[in-house]
Amino acid sequence: MKIRLIIMFATFSLLLGNMIHVSADWGKALEWMEKGAEKLIEHKDAFIEISEPREIELGKGMSAQLLGAAPLIDNTGLQQFVNDMGMWIVLQAERPNLPWRFGVLDDNDINAFAAPGGYVFISKGLFMLMRNESELAGVLAHEISHVLVKHHLEDIQERAQSGVLKDLGSMAAEELTGPKWNKVVKQLINTGVDVWESGLNRDDELEADRMGVVIAARAGYDPYGLVGVLHTLSLISPQSKSYQLMYETHPPAAERVQQLNRLMQGQLDRYASQAQTTGRLIALQQQLEQ
């Protein structure tokens, strides 16, 4: 990206230099320079920054696609519980004003998803593995962290540079409206689904773990809830089909446990006696067992 900007700037300077040399038309040169600078700014906006409304739109599109593949569980009490809990956790973090939504998918695989703009999903399979609320809080806080620091958005942008955005050439940001933006956003949604299926990079996952335990602790939960979930996952056979997608798209659970145990010791130990809370969660799980 930087290289592209440098080349554009160099080309522009060359053109400018030629123009000054040949015609000495300073007024026109300045006009060109001004237009070029504007173009560079527009280019930067189009290819580097995706505004928050567009981030939300992208996440909404990805979520609709996910729900087309795995519907929400039809249980209002459960969905409201997860939304109340998720919102409480979000209030402890940096972007509380996003339109946060949480959902439990009717999918017995073990997985969780986050989409840009504040969409978080947990599969029924993973929900049923939770032994207490602090574990669920750890999972939600991990996914929330991906949204907070825009892991998926950055990955989508990076992948799109060589795909859909490259094809647009030097199109300015404001030109990406209406049908053109609609076309682009569809391709970005597809890229986002690719990110889900291939996974974020290892560092992003480990960062979300580090942030997740802290955010859960801020919400009053035992921060070791996430460690408990990861420990459970580390015991599941990688051959288990219900764990396959998560296993293939995340660093080994044992490595994640190791990182957290090392970092939390001395920094979060004092919060280990915080609430784990089981009653409400087990009641909901029992409803799903019916």
Partner 1 sequence: MRLKFVLSLLLIGVCFNSLAETEPGVVTVTSDLYSEPDRNLPAQTLVKADTRVTILEHSGVWYRVELDTPEKERGWIWFNVQPVSNISWLERLRRVMRGGYSTQEPTSVATIGIRGLGPGDIKKANPDPQAMAAMDRYRSNPDKARRHAGSAGLRSQNIAYLIVSSEPESESDTSSGDQFGVPSR
The residues in 212-241 that bind partner 1, with binding defined as CB under 8 A, are 213-214, 217-221, 232, 235-237, 239-241
Among 2, 27, 76, 273, the residue binding partner 1 under the rule CB under 8 A is 76
Residue placing its CB nearer to partner 1 in the complex, 43 or 54: 54
Residue 207 binding partner 1, by CB under 8 A: yes
Q: What angle do CA 257, 254, 223 make, to 5 degrees?
A: 20
> CA nearest 144: which of 155, 136, 132, 154?
136
Among 43, 111, 138, 160, the residue binding partner 1 under the rule CB under 8 A is 111
Chain positions 118 to 177 lying near partner 1, rule: CB under 8 A, are 119, 123, 125, 128-129, 133, 148-149
119 and 62 in contact (C-beta within 8 Å)?
A: yes
Residue 65 binding partner 1, by CB under 8 A: yes
Q: Find the shortest distance in angstroms from Cβ 30 to partner 1.
A: 40
Angle between helices 151-161 and 133-148 (to 10 degrees): 40
Taking the C-alpha atoms of residue 63 and residue 114, their distance in angstroms, rounded to an integer, is 9
Chain positions 16 to 45 lying near partner 1, rule: CB under 8 A, are none
Taking the C-alpha atoms of residue 236 and residue 199, their distance in angstroms, rounded to an integer, is 19
Among 66, 147, 160, 208, the residue binding partner 1 under the rule CB under 8 A is 66
Residue placing its CB nearer to partner 1 in the complex, 161 or 259: 259
92 and 237 in contact (C-beta within 8 Å)?
A: no
Taking the C-alpha atoms of residue 124 and residue 120, their distance in angstroms, rounded to an integer, is 13
Q: Which two tokens stand for residue 195?
A: 């990110």
Q: Find the shortest distance in angstroms from Cβ 232 to partner 1.
A: 5
Q: Which stretch binds partner 1 (CB under 8 A): 16-24, 36-44, 174-182, 258-266?
A: 258-266
Residue placing its CB nearer to partner 1 in the complex, 46 or 233: 233
Q: Find the shortest distance in angstroms from Cβ 158 to partner 1.
A: 14
Residue 242 binding partner 1, by CB under 8 A: yes
Q: Find the shortest distance in angstroms from Cβ 248 to partner 1.
A: 9
Residue 68 binding partner 1, by CB under 8 A: yes
Taking the C-alpha atoms of residue 266 and residue 261, their distance in angstroms, rounded to an integer, is 10
Q: Find the shortest distance in angstroms from Cβ 89 to partner 1.
A: 8
What does each C-alpha distance from 204 to 123, 244, 249, 263 come to in angstroms?
21, 20, 12, 16
Among 109, 159, 168, 172, the residue binding partner 1 under the rule CB under 8 A is 109
Among 161, 190, 252, 255, the residue binding partner 1 under the rule CB under 8 A is 190
Residue 201 binding partner 1, by CB under 8 A: no
Taking the C-alpha atoms of residue 33 and residue 37, their distance in angstroms, rounded to an integer, is 6
Among 85, 185, 200, 226, the residue binding partner 1 under the rule CB under 8 A is 85
HSE value, Cβ hemisphere, 13 Å, CA-based, for 113: 31
Residue 264 binding partner 1, by CB under 8 A: yes
Residue 247 binding partner 1, by CB under 8 A: no
Sign of the alpha-carbon dihedral angle for 61, 65, 68, 70 = negative
Taking the C-alpha atoms of residue 99 and residue 274, their distance in angstroms, rounded to an integer, is 28
